[in-house]
A and B are shown apart, each in its own frame.
Chain A
Amino acid sequence: MKEIKQILKAYEIARQKGQRVALATVVHVEGSSYRGPGARMLVNEDGTLTGAISGGCLEGDALRKALMAIVENKTLLTTYDTSDDDDAIFGMGLGCNGIIRVLIEPINHKDNANPIELLREAMRTRKASVIVTFFSLRDKWSQLQGTHLLIKNDSAVFKSGIFALPVDIFLKDIHKTFEQQYTCFVKYETSGISAENTTLTAIFEYLEPNVSLVIAGAGNDVFPLVNMAEILGWQITLVDGRPAYATTSRFPSCQIVVSDADKAFDNVLLDDRTAVVLMSHNYHYDKSLLKVLLSENYVPYIGMLGPKKKKDRILAELDEAGVLWQDEALIRLFSPIGLNIGAETPEEIALSIIAEIKAIFAKRESGFLRDYPGKIHSRNNQIINSRL
């Protein structure tokens, strides 16, 4: 998310300067790698990079390939095989163990529907989207390759580039991606559909909206939390009743809502990618907000600062007052807030909160990876055959 935002920004600057750029996208990974499918990097013709496609080992080479693709004005698929330790070409142990495929697309500024415009469209609203990028394992210079389709969850479709195949062909796989909520790969034989008789592989990349973090409280202890969320590229909203604390000069990167507790959420979007953290240090303020969150909303994460006793007391009081909530609502409530990492200072507490939210949205148990029996990255890399 943050990467795409940075790429959009860098693209805008390049466009104003009249500099040409190419977009490099990791389209498939076999085995393990630092960055997975969907990692992107923008290459400017002056040699500067925004974003990353690996832990730094592939950028230098991909940069040169991108500069070449810009001059040739052709899309290129490049494959990095780091699965062999005795790599003769790179001459260095990359430490990864995978085959990484990167699609490099020169961007045409004049095209209003170029791949970067599709990314911009994907970012524009808080709706999940599927981006479809095609690549050819047979012809690395195939001009049928590219980021060609964007489908938003509200079924808006955006097309990019010269793409001969009708969109209908992909609808089934698009719907499947929305349902499964993870990226998948499908191989198509284009014979009979396109003039060119070839095999194209499509990556249906599932893009979730950015995490939105709503923080109740604008005291000084909120700064580390805001800073860390900013690093992660999350969207941040601050809610507080005190106009002297909740100011844009104190929190320039945040959306600010100054409001009494009962109206605080009236103009705040609470969707299924939103985490709410209650840390106003005001018992009644937190209690009023929690009431709304438990009974009227379904945000996947509600965190509340304070000891267990505070939570129990608030819940008892709400219950007494006749507030109703479903049992599942309490599953979404995390109080005391944060992972058990021995946090003491505001910075450490922020770290434990951020890590907890991350784990909940990733549907992970947290804990030590050392003791985790599964795969580190829950990535799917299987390419399914599609018979058209």
Chain B
Amino acid sequence: MNELPLYLDYCATTPCDPRVVEQMLPYFGNYFGNAASKDHHYGWMAKEAIEFAREQVAELIGARPQQVIFTSGATESINLALKGLVEGSGRKGNHIITTKVEHEAVLDSCRYLEQQGNTITYLEVNKEGDFSLEALERAIRPDTLAIAIMYANNETGVINPVKEIGAIAKKYQVLFMCDATQAVGKIPVDVQIDGIDLLCFSAHKIYGPKGVGALFISKKLRRTLVFKQQHGGAHEGGYRGGTLNTAGIVGFGRAATICSEEMEMEGARLQTLRNRFEASLLKNVTGLVVNGGTNRLPHVSNILLSGIDAEGLLLKVSKYLALSRGSACSGLTQQVSHVLTAMGLTKEEAHQTVRISLGRFTKMEDMLYAITILSDAIKEMLSEKRLNIVKSS
């Protein structure tokens, strides 16, 4: 086996913490039961494990266990929250306020709801990636059902003023749905303090397994307010049908507890590494710009490399480093990041932007290595470019 590239794309997904894997293994073996089997030992053991995991996950976001339901991931949670709310409102033509820099899971759901006769307001952001709270307040109308704004941005790491949004939502008696996929487990998230009614997040971003997510539904929302989107049984309090992924949920629970315990230290450590990385890279190569303001997630860095084709750079260093450009969801065809263009970057600049995201297993020497590899590769590409200009002129 060859040496694998250094992973610096923790915003895309995280490796399972070995402690999480260890916790999950018995549930693939002896404890394979279906949590919905009410009449035997196997079912009881599975249910017990899931309820414990529910407590662990709830604790991480300051919720009560019965307010958390498990899904297949953040995307499903978002779909269930938005579509479930609209359907549950019992009226036609609802209004939802979101921003232009949400994750595709929110934007795509919103566009679908628009086609179904609802109205969506997409708030603009400034070059720092911040939207205006005044604009949010102004956008609220009598038919506004909900505000759907993310906790922190997946491309830039920009953290939104969630508490203030929660207060506005409360003031106007609209619901606040928050996609907290990038924030949960990285910075303190508390649904009570933040005034959040629906919170979406997933296990694989917090060192748990893929294919598991959660939706927090505040108790002020009765079940009839969020309509089930996946039929197939009365699982998860009637919010979501389908046999639960016991092992995955157990892993999610363990991952949540580790985050509860280690998040503060880990965040501080990663912020130091991240800041040092940005400072060194900016010193080594002139003309780089860090996208997003100062209030960012501690482990994310989104950098504009003027004159450098990000795709070419990432391929060039792919043997050594695993990074991403903009959002990883665009697939094979090059699509400009909607987040960066909303922040005022040109199409060209968006193609010159890379995202570096650190995580639990990132060490100081890793970052020194990344600084060297990236600086050298960028300098090489810039000098090749100059050479070509000289040649052609």
A interface residues (Cβ-Cβ under 8 A, vs B): 20, 45-47, 60-61, 63-64, 67, 70-73, 89-92
User: Interface on chain B toward A: helix, strand, loop, or mixed SS?
Assistant: loop
Complex Cα distance A89/B312, Å?
A: 22
Whether B2 lies near A47 (C-beta < 8 A) is no
Candidates B2, B315, B332; contact of A91 at CB < 8 Å? B332
Given A47-B318, A71-B319, do A91 and B312 touch, yes or no (CB 8 Å)?
A: no
Chain A residues with CB under 8 Å of B30's CB are none
Interface string of B16-42 (1 = CB under 8 A from A): 000000000000000000000000000
Whether B316 lies near A90 (C-beta < 8 A) is no
Whether A60 lies near B319 (C-beta < 8 A) is no
Whether B315 lies near A47 (C-beta < 8 A) is yes
Whether A92 lies near B333 (C-beta < 8 A) is yes
Candidates A45, A61, A64; contact of B319 at CB < 8 Å? A45
Chain B residues with CB under 8 Å of A63's CB are 315
Whether B316 lies near A46 (C-beta < 8 A) is yes
Whether A67 lies near B332 (C-beta < 8 A) is no
Chain A residues with CB under 8 Å of B319's CB are 20, 45, 67, 70-71
Whether A67 lies near B2 (C-beta < 8 A) is no
- B301 CB → nearest A CB, Å: 22
Whether A47 lies near B332 (C-beta < 8 A) is no
Chain B residues with CB under 8 Å of A47's CB are 312, 315-316, 318
Candidates A45, A46, A70, A90; contact of B332 at CB < 8 Å? A90
Complex Cα distance A64/B311, Å?
A: 11
B287 within 8 A of A: no
Given A90-B332, A91-B331, A91-B332, do A46 and B2 touch, yes or no (CB 8 Å)?
A: no
Chain B's closest residue to A70 (CB) is B319
Complex Cα distance A161/B2, Å?
A: 18
B237 within 8 A of A: no
Count of chain B residues with Cβ under 8 Å from any Cβ of A? Answer: 12
Whether B5 lies near A71 (C-beta < 8 A) is yes
B4 within 8 A of A: yes
Candidates A45, A46, A61, A71; contact of B4 at CB < 8 Å? A71
- B30 CB → nearest A CB, Å: 31
- A351 CB → nearest B CB, Å: 29
A-B CB contacts (within 8 Å), total count: 33
Interface centre among B1, B2, B333 (most CB of A within 10 A): B2
- A44 CB → nearest B CB, Å: 10
Complex Cα distance A32/B319, Å?
A: 34
Complex Cα distance A70/B316, Å?
A: 13
9 CB contacts below 8 A, A to B, read A60-B332, A67-B315, A67-B319, A70-B319, A71-B318, A72-B2, A89-B332, A90-B332, A92-B332
Chain A residues with CB under 8 Å of B318's CB are 45, 47, 67, 71
19 new A-B contacts, CB < 8 A, other than A72-B1, A72-B2, are A20-B319, A45-B318, A45-B319, A46-B315, A47-B312, A47-B315, A47-B316, A61-B332, A67-B318, A70-B319, A71-B2, A71-B5, A71-B318, A71-B319, A73-B1, A73-B2, A90-B332, A92-B332, A92-B333
Chain A's closest residue to B331 (CB) is A91
- B296 CB → nearest A CB, Å: 29
Chain B residues with CB under 8 Å of A61's CB are 332
Complex Cα distance A20/B332, Å?
A: 24
Chain A's closest residue to B377 (CB) is A46
Interface string of B322-349 (1 = CB under 8 A from A): 0000000001110000000000000000
Chain B's closest residue to A67 (CB) is B318
Complex Cα distance A130/B248, Å?
A: 52
Interface residues of B in 288-322 (CB under 8 A from A): 312, 315-316, 318-319
Chain A residues with CB under 8 Å of B2's CB are 71-73
Given A71-B5, A72-B2, do A91 and B316 touch, yes or no (CB 8 Å)?
A: no
Chain B residues with CB under 8 Å of A45's CB are 318-319
Complex Cα distance A78/B183, Å?
A: 37
Chain B residues with CB under 8 Å of A70's CB are 319
- A243 CB → nearest B CB, Å: 35
Complex Cα distance A45/B315, Å?
A: 8
Whether B333 lies near A91 (C-beta < 8 A) is yes
Complex Cα distance A60/B2, Å?
A: 23
Chain B residues with CB under 8 Å of A64's CB are 315
Complex Cα distance A72/B318, Å?
A: 12
Complex Cα distance A90/B330, Å?
A: 11
Complex Cα distance A90/B331, Å?
A: 8
- B357 CB → nearest A CB, Å: 20
Complex Cα distance A158/B332, Å?
A: 39
- B13 CB → nearest A CB, Å: 16
- B318 CB → nearest A CB, Å: 5
- B11 CB → nearest A CB, Å: 20
Chain B residues with CB under 8 Å of A91's CB are 331-333
Complex Cα distance A60/B4, Å?
A: 21
- B6 CB → nearest A CB, Å: 12
- A68 CB → nearest B CB, Å: 9
Interface centre among A47, A67, A70, A90 (most CB of B within 10 A): A47
Chain B residues with CB under 8 Å of A90's CB are 332
Chain A residues with CB under 8 Å of B331's CB are 91
Chain A residues with CB under 8 Å of B315's CB are 46-47, 63-64, 67
Query: Considering the complex of A and B, which 8 residue pairs feature the smallest CB-CB distances, nearest first?
Result: A47-B315, A46-B316, A67-B318, A73-B2, A45-B319, A47-B316, A71-B2, A90-B332
Chain B residues with CB under 8 Å of A92's CB are 332-333
Complex Cα distance A359/B332, Å?
A: 38
Chain A residues with CB under 8 Å of B1's CB are 72-73
